[in-house]
Structure 1
Amino acid sequence: MLRTSLREISAALKEGQVSPTELCQKCLSLIKATRFLNAYITVAEDMALKQAKASEKRYRQGQTLGDLDGIPVAVKDNFSTAGIETTCASNMLKGYIPPFNATVVQKLLDQGAVLLGKTNLDEFAMGSGSTDGAFGPVRNPWSYSQQYRSKRAKNSSAQSGDPDWLITGGSSGGSAAAVSSFTCFAALGSDTGGSTRNPASLCGVVGLKPTYGLVSRYGLIPLVNSMDVPGILTRSVDDAATVLGVLGGHDPKDSTTVEDAFSPFQLPSLIDLKNLCIGIPKEYNTPGLSPETLAVWSKAADLFEKAGARVMDVSLPHTSYSIVCYHVLCAAEVASNMARFDGLEYGHRSNVDESTEALYAATRREGFNDVVRGRILSGNYFLLKQNYERYFIKAQRVRRLIANDFAKVFSSGVNVLLTPTTLSHAMPYAEFIKEDNRTRSTQDDIFTQAANMAGLPAVNVPSALSEEGLPIGLQFIGHAYQERQLLTVAKWFEKQVQFPAIELDGVMEHLHTTPHQEKSVFLT
């Protein structure tokens, strides 16, 4: 039951094949069974069951609210949720319970979705591994998949035991792991430089970053206001389109959302590519790209060409500057956004009482981890009067050049760009943490960040299994506000590759053979 798509389970609910309460209970049971993945920070068990029972009553009365009625979903723990702790995986916000819902959360609830809980992330979404949060790292479900375990068993150099478990990517790693392990049918992430697409690639799920301004940011605790976008994680492209249809549209509470009317859409079942042009950016064939990922990328381009699409090489010459530009702009906005966390109105407050300044300093030192403090310090440096023009203004100009590159390519007749999503498949945690957070983010966001700079929609589609039995994803980037065309192309590709579902037999075996601490999930 839990392995079906969102659309399939919605149809089963409507036909009475399963009840919302039964479905919710199955998801909650699997969350408990896979607790060692550390995908959730908070599981709102009582609230979810109450919502499921209300949905069940609506089904009996024939008064359902929409296609998501009774569907279990999860939300990244940097979206405000009324009555549910919202921590951003930081000690700074432990115990903080918002009095309101983020707009995207409220839209899900208005459609009858059942909110299971809040998912794990890098602290304040600053990271690419979901390894730097206050509640510990998230484990990739594929670490325990039959596909990966069987490959490892054949490799004589592979050592047995748990230390080889894999990262999920980040910062929305908890949401990606939750969808990948079948504990929910859809999850919200956030995407500032690739934080939805990166973990989607490593966990073998679909990860959509909509156009900036199409989906409200109200209630999303900000990282970089000018680039943050709520992201959608599902197990199919059709499901991502369904959720986008619920979330899209103008929000008076978010002045950056466009006022043009947004109409939900269904993707066609028959897709003709003969008038389509696919662009292959030559700058994305970069040092560090694994041979396997390059081969999958090349094979995908051949698939489109054989289907009648025109495939052409294109250039995005300022791509190489995107990451450096992002580090400046991100740090500058972080320095501004993190100033609100002073311990006076909400969140952690230090016991230091010598002076107000000492209270501020101690609160922020105790509440933030090294990654957040480092970005705050960097941002304040970039924003100094003597540095403002040299760093911040110059970075904004480079950002414009990056956006212009995309505009030039799309004006030449290209409909969709096809690129890798990440350099390679997921790596073991022990290997990942050898590098610092900034170095890892520089490496892991290289293919995803530029789309945020330009505000364009992009989606990861699981494309193949590596020789080690791990997911490799590819990214499609489209015209602004052309999500329908983007997702139509992605759906066609998804159908061609027939990416295999994860076999989770190893998860249950692991559960029964290896003890784990379970302190990071709190059932309410």
Structure 2
Amino acid sequence: MLGLTLREVALALREGKVSPTELCQRCLHFIRKTKFLNAYVTVTEEIALKQAEQAEKRFLKGETLGPLDGIPIAVKDNFSTASIQTTCASQMLKGYIPPFNATVVQKLLDQGAVLMGKTNLDEFAMGSGSTDTIFGPVRNPWGYSRQYQERCAQNPEDTKDSSDWLITGGSSGGSAASVASLTCFASLGSDTGGSTRNPAANCGVVGLKPTYGLLSRHGLIPLVNSMDVPGILTRSVHDAATVLGVLGGHDPKDSTTVPEPFKPFSLPDEIDVRNVCVGIPREYHAPGLSKEILAHWTKAAELFEKAGARVVEVSLPHTQHSIVCYHVLCTAEVASNMARFDGLEYGHRSTIDSSTEVMYASTRHEGFNDVVRGRILSGNYFLLKQNYDRYFVKAQKVRRLISNDFMKVFSSGVDVLLTPTTLSDASRYSEFIKEDNRTRSAQEDIFTQCANMAGLPAVTLPVALSERNLPISLQFIGQGFREKNLLTVAKWYEQQVKFPLIEFQDVADHVSEFPKKTKSASAS
């Protein structure tokens, strides 16, 4: 039952094959069995069971609130949740309990979704591995799959150190792991430069970054206001469209949401791609791209051509400057957004308070990790009066050129762009931490952050297993506010590849404590 898609389990609920309470209990049981993954910061067991009971009463009366009624979901721990701790995986907000729900969280609850808990992430969503968190790194469920373990048995050199697990990617690693490990059927992430799509790719699930302005950011603790977008993680493209239909639309509390009404849509089961034009950006043949991902990228283009689609090579010349441009703009906005955490109104406050200035400095030093402090310092440097035009203004101009590249390609008749999502399959933790956070983010987000710079929708989906029996994913980038077209094309390709469901070994074999320096996830 836990291996079903959201669409399938919703049908099972309506037909009475399983009750909302039973489904919730099964998910809670599996959360406990997979605790070693460290996907959850807070497990909301009592809240979930109460919500499931309410859903069951509605089902018995023949009533339903919507397509998510009774469906277990999870939420990244940088979305505000009323009466539930929201930490951003940072010492700065540990113990903070918001008085309100983020708009997208409230929309899920209004539809009867059952909240299983809050998921782990890189501190304040600054990272690409879900390793820089006060709760300890998130482990990739595929590292414990039957497929991967069988591969390791055949190739012992791949697993010389059994404690060296696979990363999920980040920063929404907990959300991706929660869906991949079958503990919920959909999860909310956030996406500023690829933070939904990157972990979705590593964990073998679907990750959707909607158009900027389509979903409300109210209650999403900001990283970069001009790029942040709530992300959706599910097991199928159809499920992502279902969740999008619940979340989309204008929010008076968020002036960046577009005022035009959003109409939920359904995706056809029979899809014809003969009138579709697929663009292949030549600049995405990046250094470090693995041969396996290149092969599946090529295979995808060939499958579209065989099905009658037009496949053309296109150019996005300014994308070569995108990652540097992103770094300047990201850190500048981080410096501004993190200024609110001063120890006065909420969050951590240092006991060293000999003066206001000393209290500010000690609070921020104690509350933020090295990554966050580093980005704040970089951003403040770029925003200095003598540097403002040289860095920040120039980066904004480059961002416009990047956006214009996409507009030019789409105006030429291209419907969607087909690209890799990551350079390779999931990395081992020991290899990943050899580089600093800045370098790792530049490597991991190389194919994803351009869509954020241009505000475009993008979706990643798993297409095959690598030689190591780990997920390989591809990304589709679409035109702004044309999510239906984008997801229809993505669903067609999903139907062609039929990616396998994860098969767990006996998870009890893998339950072990983290090293003493790593804190395990807490439960409420």
Give 1:210's aligned residue.
Answer: 210
CA contact (8 A) 1:144 1:510 kept: yes
Q: Which amino acid in 1 is paired with 2:42? A: T
Give 1:117's aligned residue.
Answer: 117
Alignment map for 1:311-390 (pairs within 5 Å): 311-390=311-390
Q: Distance in 1 between matches of 2:27 and 2:497?
A: 28
Q: What does the per-residue CA deviation read over 1:375-401, in whole Å, with 9 as the maximum and x for residues that have no partner?
A: 000100100111000000000000000
Partner secondary structure for residue 158 of structure 2? coil
Partner secondary structure for residue 165 of structure 1? coil
Partner secondary structure for residue 167 of structure 2? coil
Give 1:106's aligned residue.
Answer: 106
Is 1:256 the equivalent of 2:256? yes
Displacement of 1:60 in angstroms is 1.2
Partner secondary structure for residue 461 of structure 2? strand
Displacement of 1:508 in angstroms is 3.4
Q: Distance in 2 between matches of 1:384 and 1:519?
A: 38
CA contact (8 A) 2:36 2:510 kept: no
Partner secondary structure for residue 464 of structure 2? strand
Q: Distance in 1 between matches of 2:247 and 2:92?
A: 29
Partner secondary structure for residue 334 of structure 1? helix
Displacement of 1:353 in angstroms is 1.7
Q: Distance in 1 between matches of 2:393 and 2:227?
A: 16
Give 2:70's aligned residue.
Answer: 70
Q: Distance in 1 between matches of 2:212 and 2:360?
A: 34
Q: What does the per-residue CA deviation read over 1:326-355, in whole Å, with 9 as the maximum and x for residues that have no partner?
A: 000000000000000011111111001201
Q: Distance in 2 between matches of 1:162 and 1:21?
A: 37
Give 1:305's aligned residue.
Answer: 305
Give 1:235's aligned residue.
Answer: 235
Give 2:130's aligned residue.
Answer: 130
Q: Distance in 2 between matches of 1:457 and 1:270?
A: 23
Alignment map for 1:10-21 (pairs within 5 Å): 10-21=10-21
Partner secondary structure for residue 207 of structure 1? strand
Displacement of 1:153 in angstroms is 1.1
CA contact (8 A) 2:148 2:468 kept: yes
Alignment map for 1:100-179 (pairs within 5 Å): 100-179=100-179
Give 2:22's aligned residue.
Answer: 22
Is 1:489 the equivalent of 2:489? yes
CA contact (8 A) 2:214 2:250 kept: yes
CA contact (8 A) 2:41 2:523 kept: no
Q: Residues 425 and 506 of structure 1: is their aligned pair in 2 closer, same or farther, counting only changes over 3 Å?
A: farther
Unaligned runs of 5+ in 1: none
Is 1:285 the equivalent of 2:285? yes
Is 1:199 the equivalent of 2:175? no
Q: Distance in 1 between matches of 2:330 and 2:158?
A: 39
Q: Distance in 1 between matches of 2:159 and 2:78?
A: 37
Is 1:86 the equivalent of 2:48? no
Give 1:414's aligned residue.
Answer: 414
Give 2:52's aligned residue.
Answer: 52
* Bigger Cα displacement from structure 2, 502-511 vs 415-424: 502-511
Q: Which amino acid in 2 is paired with 1:146? A: R
Displacement of 1:358 in angstroms is 0.7
Q: Distance in 2 between matches of 1:32 and 1:467?
A: 30
CA contact (8 A) 2:134 2:519 kept: no
Displacement of 1:261 in angstroms is 1.1
Partner secondary structure for residue 278 of structure 2? strand
Alignment map for 1:400-479 (pairs within 5 Å): 400-479=400-479
Displacement of 1:64 in angstroms is 1.4
Displacement of 1:151 in angstroms is 1.0
Partner secondary structure for residue 170 of structure 1? coil
Q: Distance in 2 between matches of 1:21 and 1:474?
A: 36
Partner secondary structure for residue 391 of structure 2? helix
Q: What does the per-residue CA deviation read over 1:154-177, in whole Å, with 9 as the maximum and x for residues that have no partner?
A: 114234552231000000000000
Root mean square deviation of aligned Cα: 1.0
Displacement of 1:506 in angstroms is 5.0
Q: Distance in 1 between matches of 2:410 and 2:34?
A: 44
Unaligned runs of 5+ in 2: none
Give 1:95's aligned residue.
Answer: 95
Displacement of 1:146 in angstroms is 1.0
Give 2:509's aligned residue.
Answer: 509
Displacement of 1:16 in angstroms is 1.2
Partner secondary structure for residue 318 of structure 1? helix
Q: Distance in 1 between matches of 2:165 and 2:312?
A: 39
Q: Distance in 2 between matches of 1:380 and 1:239?
A: 41
* Bigger Cα displacement from structure 2, 474-483 vs 58-67: 58-67
Q: Which amino acid in 2 is paired with 1:201? A: A
CA contact (8 A) 1:316 1:406 kept: yes
Q: What does the per-residue CA deviation read over 1:142-197, in whole Å, with 9 as the maximum and x for residues that have no partner?
A: 11111111111111423455223100000000000000000000000000000000
Q: Which amino acid in 1 is paired with 2:310? A: R
Displacement of 1:2 in angstroms is 0.5
Displacement of 1:103 in angstroms is 0.2
Q: Distance in 2 between matches of 1:354 and 1:515?
A: 40
> TM-score, with normalisation over the residues of structure 2?
0.98
CA contact (8 A) 1:200 1:207 kept: yes
Q: Residues 516 and 395 of structure 1: is their aligned pair in 2 closer, same or farther, counting only changes over 3 Å?
A: closer
Q: Which amino acid in 2 is paired with 1:33? A: K
Partner secondary structure for residue 317 of structure 2? coil
Q: Distance in 2 between matches of 1:158 and 1:412?
A: 46
Partner secondary structure for residue 157 of structure 2? coil
Displacement of 1:507 in angstroms is 3.0
Displacement of 1:520 in angstroms is 2.9
CA contact (8 A) 1:352 1:362 kept: yes
Give 1:37's aligned residue.
Answer: 37
Partner secondary structure for residue 462 of structure 1? strand
Q: Which amino acid in 1 is paired with 2:479? A: H
Displacement of 1:515 in angstroms is 4.4
Number of residues of Structure 1 aligned to a counterpart in Structure 2: 522
CA contact (8 A) 1:78 1:86 kept: yes
Alignment map for 1:512-523 (pairs within 5 Å): 514-516=512-514, 519-523=519-523
Q: Distance in 2 between matches of 1:266 and 1:436?
A: 42
Q: What does the per-residue CA deviation read over 1:276-327, in whole Å, with 9 as the maximum and x for residues that have no partner?
A: 1000000000110000000010000000000000000000000111100000
Q: Which amino acid in 1 is paired with 2:289? A: L
Alignment map for 1:266-281 (pairs within 5 Å): 266-281=266-281
Q: Distance in 2 between matches of 1:64 and 1:520?
A: 37
Q: Distance in 1 between matches of 2:510 and 2:522?
A: 22
CA contact (8 A) 1:149 1:506 kept: no
Q: Distance in 1 between matches of 2:488 and 2:380?
A: 43
CA contact (8 A) 1:141 1:507 kept: no
